[in-house]
Amino acid sequence: MDIAVVYLLLIGFGLLVYVLLDGFSLGVGIVSPLLKDAHDKGIAMKSLSHLWDSNQTWLVFGGVVLFVGFPSVYAYVLSNLYIPITLMLIALIFRGVAFEFRFKANSSQKWWDLSFAFGSTVATFFQGVILGALVGDMSSTRTMEDAVEWLNPFSLFTGLALVSGYALLGACWLIRKTENELQAKVKKIAQRLLIVVLFFLATVSIWMLLEQPAIAARWLNWPVNLWLTPMPLLTAFFAYKLWPLLTSEKEPGLKPLAFAMSLFVTAFAGLVAGIYPYIIPGRLTIWEAIAPDKSVYFTLVGILVFIPVIIGYNAFNYWTFSGKTSMDDGY
């Protein structure tokens, strides 16, 4: 296969894994202010303390694979989106340190709960803004000399959309990790979030089709739409399966998280299908941007060798801490 396509798939893979995994970690932070008291918030945070770092590492992975595969894109996107990216990184600091300090704090505990919620929400919001800025700025008349306009109604809207999306993932994760009253409460939150997420998904999709003729052309074109049309249908199907899990009192285990993640995967696939083969939407294709062979093949070997190992020990990490979260696990 074409090495540029391989790298696009790798970045897509890294990004998707990041969105799914850190998505629920950040989502827990977003929904945590809705939880009742310090104990519940503590449980929510504790459910992540052993894996937030691994989940966040996928962001570094995605960034660095982009740097390897398409250095000019890494340079262009990061410097053009300077403010939202830097604010996202700073917000992630607030989120990250909260894990270390919260459980060693006495009087300042509520501040660390706040730091966790604030950091998670702001980081997610700016990730959504970055996504919206890149997709919304797509246009065949723009060149690499033009700056990306990142602050516009569409990007702010996708920012909010991503906050709701991650929050849904977070709530579904908490359903798995909590019990009794707390679980019932989280299910209620997830119900409302599902409605909000569907609203955002529909609105963003329609907005994109109206604003972006290039994407619209692809979606409405025969026979491409033959394999694109199942995406909205699949989205509807996953939402339809998720709803009863959230409304019944039975223990649903990991199922809600699985369906919520499936929702994300279809939305992600739809997005990628709309943009491909551009790497900076509308400006630069993957073949124009791919790095020299010597660099991409050298790194590819490492990725192919280590990613299965990484997935293996991450699975072991999840397995070790499977089950309901216990406040007894400490150090």
Partner 1 sequence: MLELVAALPDTSFLSRIQFAFTISYHIMFPTITIGLSLYIAFMEGMWLRTKNTVYLQQVKFWMKPFAITFGMGVVSGVVLSYEFGTNFSKFSEIVGPVLAPLLAYEVLTAFFLEAGFLGIMLFGWNRVSSKVHFFATCTVALGTVCSSFWILAANSWMHTPAGYEIIDGQFQVTSWLEVIFNPSFPYRLAHMLLASFLSASLFIAGIHAYYLLKKQHNEFSKIGFSSAMTAILILAPVQIFVGDLHGLNVADNQPVKLAAMEGIWQTQKGAALRLFAWPDEETESNKFEIAIPKMASLIVTHEWDGEIAGLDQVSAEDRPPVPVVFFAFRIMLGLGGLMLILGISGLIARKAGCLYRFKPLLALSVIMIPAGVIATLAGWYVVEVGRQPWLVQGLVRTADVISPLPAQQVAFTLVLFVAVYGTLFFTYLHFMRKLVLKGPPTIESLIDTFQPLNKLSESRSKQPETLNDEGQDLPPTLNPAQVDMGYTQEFSNYFKTDKKGAE
Residue 252 preceded by cis peptide, ω within 30: no
Is residue 107 within the footprint of partner 1 (CB under 8 A)? no
Is residue 99 within the footprint of partner 1 (CB under 8 A)? yes
Is residue 149 within the footprint of partner 1 (CB under 8 A)? no
**Candidate ranges 91-99, 178-186, 209-217, 280-288; the one touching partner 1 (CB under 8 A):** 91-99
C-beta closer to partner 1: residue 103 or 276: 103
Closest by CA to 186, choosing from 197, 175, 170, is 175
Closest by CA to 308, choosing from 6, 29, 109, 13, is 13
Is residue 67 within the footprint of partner 1 (CB under 8 A)? yes
CB 16 within 8 A of CB 265: yes
Is residue 129 within the footprint of partner 1 (CB under 8 A)? no
Rounded least distance, CB 65 to partner 1, Å: 6
Give 84-87 contacts, CB < 8 A, sequence gap 24+. Answer: 84/126, 84/129, 84/130, 84/133, 84/150, 85/126, 85/130, 87/122, 87/126
Closest by CA to 146, choosing from 283, 19, 49, is 283
> Per-residue string for binding with partner 1, 258-297, x by CB under 8 A?
---------------------------------xx-xx--
C-beta closer to partner 1: residue 75 or 233: 75
Is residue 303 within the footprint of partner 1 (CB under 8 A)? yes
Q: Which residue has the tokens 């890149």?
A: 134
The partner residues of 280 in beta bridges, in order of sequence, read 284
Catalog residues that contact partner 1 under the rule CB under 8 A: 49-51, 53-54, 56-57, 59-61, 63-65, 67-68, 71-72, 74-79, 82-83, 85-86, 89-90, 92-94, 96-97, 99-101, 104-105, 291-292, 294-295, 298-299, 302-303, 306-307, 310, 313-314, 316-317, 320-321, 328-331
